[in-house]
Structure 1
Amino acid sequence: MHISHSGEDDNLKRLLSFSVAYIEAKCGEFDLSGKTNLDIRATELVFERTRYAYNDAVEYFDDNFQSDILGLSLDMVFALEEESDA
């Protein structure tokens, strides 16, 4: 989304917040500004879902990113288990 004006800022912030909530509900909590592999992958999914929502195609997001969502959610579960074992 190459937007060169600020007229869309409020809408984009709203869409981003919806996408963060959606990815956290599907995969688990993450840090948007985090540097871990899991944080980066989750943030990428947030941006992708926001792109779909912005273009009125959010209903296609799950199908197109199903393997990414599933992989991230499993990796997050495994990471939590490793933390609790340590």
Structure 2
Amino acid sequence: MHISHNEDNNLKQLLSFSISYIRSKCGDFDIEGDSDTDIQAKELVFERTRYAYNDAVEYFEDNFLSEINSLSLDIALKEGEPVEGI
């Protein structure tokens, strides 16, 4: 990403939207945490932000579906929530 001073607010907004999106799909995580789950979530946030920045967010879910599902399962198991099919 080519970042200039004028794009600071835009990137902050895109990051905020991506955090909300990943939380809605996968569950709660600490964006500043250092657990494996938090790092996976942070990576997905950055990837989704990259897609949004390049006006291609509609392709993100298809391209990262296995990572989204994996993170969702990891968070559910970590929180002790029942997981369907297991």
What is the TM-score with the length of structure 2 in the denominator? Answer: 0.90
CA-based RMSD of the aligned residues comes to 1.1
* Residue 7 of structure 1, CA deviation: 1.1
Could you tell me which runs of 5 or more consecutive residues in structure 1 were left unpaired when the two chains were aligned. none
- Identical aligned residues as a percent: 64
Per-residue Cα deviation, 1:47-80 (whole angstroms, up to 9, x for no partner): 0000000000000000000000000000110111
Task: Specify the alignment match of 1:11 in structure 2.
Answer: 10
Return the letter of the residue paired with 1:70: N
Per-residue Cα deviation, 1:8-54 (whole angstroms, up to 9, x for no partner): 00000000000000000000111111000000000000000000000
Provide runs of 4+ in structure 1 moved above 3 Å.
Answer: none
Task: Specify the alignment match of 1:63 in structure 2.
Answer: 62
Separation in structure 2 between the aligned mates of residue 79 and residue 32 of structure 1, nearest angstrom: 16
Separation in structure 1 between the aligned mates of residue 42 and residue 70 of structure 2, nearest angstrom: 14
* Residue 2 of structure 1, CA deviation: 3.7
Q: Does 1:38 align with 2:13?
A: no
Alignment coverage as a number of residue pairs: 81
What is the TM-score with the length of structure 1 in the denominator? Answer: 0.90
